[in-house]
Amino acid sequence: MPYNRKVMDHFMSPRNAGDMESADGVGKAANQVDGDVVIVRIKVKDGKISEVKHQVFGCAAAIAGSSAFTEMIKGKALEDALKISRQDVADYLGGLPEGKIGCSILGPDALKMAVDDYNSRNR
Ligand code: FES
């Protein structure tokens, strides 16, 4: 299955890409098989993700998946954002080729690390 139009759009024009100054939480997830790396940075206001940025070192699916994931979590309460699964991201994108969901959707793992980081700074 080739990449669909929505995946290609997020790959060619990633949303919320880049660095963030003074992030409240930073998380990094890596794929041990292909070596893809995703970094997610968040700002939190009133328990919600007020800003999110991501950086991806990886394939088209990893870039599109992280872009979509940041769109899905922006403005959400932390606990709701943490419930979004890899499959949810693939569904949002209208599907990904077989085998790509497990290896390329790293945003949920990176967000978990970012929220852990945020919580450790705010104890
Ligand atoms: S993570 Fe990109 S191909 Fe597997």
pLDDT in tens, 74-85: 999 999 999 999
CATH number at residue 70: 3.90.1010.10
The whole-number average pLDDT for the span 49-65 is: 97
Within its chain, how far is the Cα of 94 from the centroid? 16
Within-domain flag for 52: yes
pLDDT at 23 over 80: yes
Q: What is the pLDDT of residues 62-76, one digit of tens each?
A: 999 999 999 999 999
Does the predicted model carry a pTM greater than 0.85?
yes
User: Which pLDDT score, from 0 to 100, does residue 1 have?
Assistant: 61
Q: How many domains does the chain have?
A: 1
Pocket test for ligand 1, best of 7, 10, 36, 89 (most atoms within 8 A of CB): 36
User: Which pLDDT score, from 0 to 100, does residue 63 have?
Assistant: 97
Q: How far apart are CA 41 and CA 118, in angstroms?
A: 10
Structural domain including 103 reads 5-117
Kindly give the distance from the C-alpha atom of residue 102 to the centroid of ligand 1, in angstroms, as a whole number: 8
The whole-number average pLDDT for the span 98-117 is: 94
| Whole-Å CA distances, 1 to 52, 58, 62, 94, 100 | 30, 19, 16, 12, 11
Within-domain flag for 107: yes
Within-domain flag for 28: yes
- Tokens 């991806």 locate to 56
Within-domain flag for 123: no
**Contact by Cβ (8 Å): 65, 84:** no
Within-domain flag for 122: no
